[in-house]
């Protein structure tokens, strides 16, 4: 008769361990989260935690599974709604409500998925398969596709929506929870209906600048390190991007690495600075061209997404943010917010000249940041297009047309 009670207690304690680990991973990253720290957070000793999870990686996998299961449930509930607009609104509302619960004191409800790629393949592969199930549910928000082109469009919508919801916890810190209902409405409006005053308007101009990788010139060694580190971190995450792996990709020694950078964290910060410098340069080039402000913004977005899709040195994904210590993390987020505010300024000017709908520019600026950031993950998707312009146009149609616009 006592077995159900014992089973329930085991499950409750296991859940408490997962939630404590989730909080620590969100705050300090996987590498800095230890079983001892998790045990301390809930008043246990490390030996007691190993009764539930023999190795740290088992606990990390359980944390990620919990988040993926929550995302899957939210997507499945949204899919039950009667039409694309209702599904989109329900999904956004679920994520905003979760953040409100966390702000109210509930912990461990969700974990940033940024370090899944740092896990060994036997742990990583099932998690990635679970994430793809979530993607498929979200892709179906927009209906059943009748062609490969329509499926590609719905995939882009799903990808951008999921990335916007995963970036929301970072920038939500700028707002009071009392503002969340308004933010929810603004997010829905931007994602559902797009940005330009004329739906579907998208005529980007070429921008001139030196942010592209020069394949015909020999890169300096420091630039080569930045390129190799950015690509490796984007592909494998912070932990997977070992100094050995970065050095080997360049056929140099570890000593050469440490000649340029005191530690791997210094290299990650240099990669962020390099990426944000390039992004800033593209924004400024867009501001210098003629035309209305939506045309200028469309030109900036097209150039940045093209960089993410096709340049040999992409922008560093914010997945690396999770592994940085809190002080460095704040600095990186501050720089990101400055870039988002520059987007917001362009949107304000676009509202003034009539080329941009009346939307919340601060919220839209964050959506633009997550859309550009997430484009790297869509490289394989973009490679299926015959022309690079078609890939960029289809991807950014999510912003120029909105997610609930009928497909062409």
Instruction: Indicate whether 240 pLDDT > 70.
Output: no
Provide the mean pLDDT of the chain: 87
- The arithmetic mean of pLDDT across residues 4-13, rounded, is 73
Contact residues for 169 (Cβ-Cβ < 8 A; gap 6+): 99, 102, 110, 112
| Rounded Cα–Cα distance for residues 164 and 145 (Å) | 23
| 119, 61 Cβ separation under 8 angstroms | yes
The token pair at 72 is: 């899957």
Nearest C-alpha neighbor of 63 from the set 27, 92, 105: 27
pTM, 2 dp: 0.87
Q: What are phi and psi of 108, to 5 degrees?
A: 75, 20
**Helix count (H) and strand count (E) of the chain?**
17, 0
Looking at per-residue pLDDT, the higher value among 316 and 157 belongs to 157
Position 352 pLDDT exceeds 90:
yes
Which of 325 and 53 is assigned the larger pLDDT? 53
Cα distance between residue 372 and residue 18, in whole Å: 32
d(CA 257, CA 270): 13
Residues 6+ apart with CB under 8 A from 353: 292, 293
- Distance separating alpha carbons of residues 381 and 160, to the nearest angstrom: 13
Q: To which H or E segment does residue 155 belong?
A: helix 148-171
pLDDT category of residue 206 using cuts at 50, 70 and 90 = very high
Residues 177-187: tens digit of each pLDDT = 999 999 999 99
**Under a CB-based contact definition with an 8 Å cutoff, are residues 269 and 334 in contact?**
no
User: Strand pairing partners for 356?
Assistant: 196
- Rounded distance, CA 18 to CA 375, Å? 31
Task: Using a pLDDT cut of 70, give the percent of the chain over it.
Answer: 87
Could you read off the pLDDT of 317-336 as tens digits, one per residue?
A: 776 666 667 777 788 888 88
The mean pLDDT of 8-36, rounded to a whole number, is 82
Closest CA to 115 of 127, 126, 107, 106: 127
At residue 20, the pLDDT reads: 87
Token pair in block for residue 312:
């040999």
Question: What's the rounded Cα separation, in Å, for the pair 92 and 87?
Answer: 9
Residue 289 or 386, more confident: 289
Q: Residue 308's CB: how many other CB atoms inside 10 A?
A: 24
User: DSSP 3-state assignment of 356?
Assistant: strand
Q: Average pLDDT of 357-376?
A: 95
Mean pLDDT value of segment 42-69: 87
| Band of residue 2 on the pLDDT scale cut at 50, 70, 90 | very low
Kindly state the average pLDDT of the residues 11-32. Answer: 82
What pLDDT, on the 0 to 100 scale, is given for residue 1?
40
Average pLDDT of the segment spanning 194-213: 94
Residue 204 has pLDDT above 60, yes or no: yes
Q: Is 227 exposed, middle or buried (0-12, 13-18, 19+ CB in 10 A)?
A: buried
The residues facing 196 across adjacent strands are 356
Q: How far apart are CA 58 and CA 49, in angstroms?
A: 11
| Tens digits of residue pLDDT in 88-107 | 999 999 999 999 998 998 87
Q: What pLDDT shows up at residue 83?
A: 96
CA atoms within 13 A on the CB side of 278: 25
CA 340 to chain centre: 14
The predicted pLDDT at position 245 comes to: 67
**CA dist., res. 283 & res. 296, Å (int):** 9
């Amino acid at each position: 008769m006592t077995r159900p009670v014992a089973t329930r207690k085991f499950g409750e304690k296991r859940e408490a361990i997962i939630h404590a680990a989730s909080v620590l991973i969100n705050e300090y990253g996987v590498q800095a989260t230890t079983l001892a720290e998790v045990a301390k957070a809930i008043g246990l000793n490390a030996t007691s935690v190993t009764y539930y999870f023999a190795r740290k990686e088992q606990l990390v996998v359980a944390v990620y599974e919990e988040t993926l299961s929550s995302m899957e449930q939210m997507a499945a509930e949204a899919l039950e709604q009667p039409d694309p607009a209702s599904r989109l609104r329900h999904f956004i509302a679920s994520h905003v409500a979760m953040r409100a619960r966390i702000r109210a004191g509930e912990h461990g409800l969700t974990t940033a998925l940024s370090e899944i790629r740092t896990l060994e393949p036997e742990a990583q592969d099932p998690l990635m398969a679970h994430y793809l199930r979530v993607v498929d549910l979200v892709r179906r928000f927009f209906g059943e596709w009748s062609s490969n082109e329509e499926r590609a469009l719905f995939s882009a919508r799903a990808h951008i929506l999921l990335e916007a919801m995963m970036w929301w916890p970072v920038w939500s810190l700028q707002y009071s929870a009392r503002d969340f209902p308004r933010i929810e409405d603004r997010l829905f409006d931007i994602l559902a209906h797009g940005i330009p005053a004329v739906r579907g308007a998208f005529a980007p101009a070429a921008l001139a600048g030196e942010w592209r990788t020069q394949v015909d010139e020999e890169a300096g060694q420091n630039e080569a390190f930045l390129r190799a580190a950015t690509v490796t971190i984007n592909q494998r995450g912070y932990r997977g991007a070992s100094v050995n792996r970065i050095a080997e990709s360049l056929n140099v020694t570890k000593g050469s690495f440490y000649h340029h950078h005191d530690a791997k964290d210094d290299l990650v910060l240099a990669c962020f600075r390099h990426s944000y410098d390039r992004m800033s340069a593209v924004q400024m080039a867009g501001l210098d061209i003629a035309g209305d402000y939506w045309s200028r913004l469309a030109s900036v977005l097209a150039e940045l997404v093209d960089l993410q899709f096709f340049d040999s040195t992409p922008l560093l994904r914010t997945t690396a943010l999770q592994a940085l210590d809190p002080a460095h993390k704040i600095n990186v987020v501050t720089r990101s917010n400055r870039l988002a505010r520059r987007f917001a300024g362009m949107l304000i000017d676009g509202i003034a000249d009539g080329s941009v709908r009346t939307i919340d520019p601060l919220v839209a600026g964050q959506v633009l940041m997550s859309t550009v950031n997430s484009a790297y993950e869509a490289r394989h998707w973009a490679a299926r297009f015959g022309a690079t312009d078609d890939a960029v146009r289809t991807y950014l149609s999510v912003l120029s047309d909105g997610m609930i616009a009928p497909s062409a």
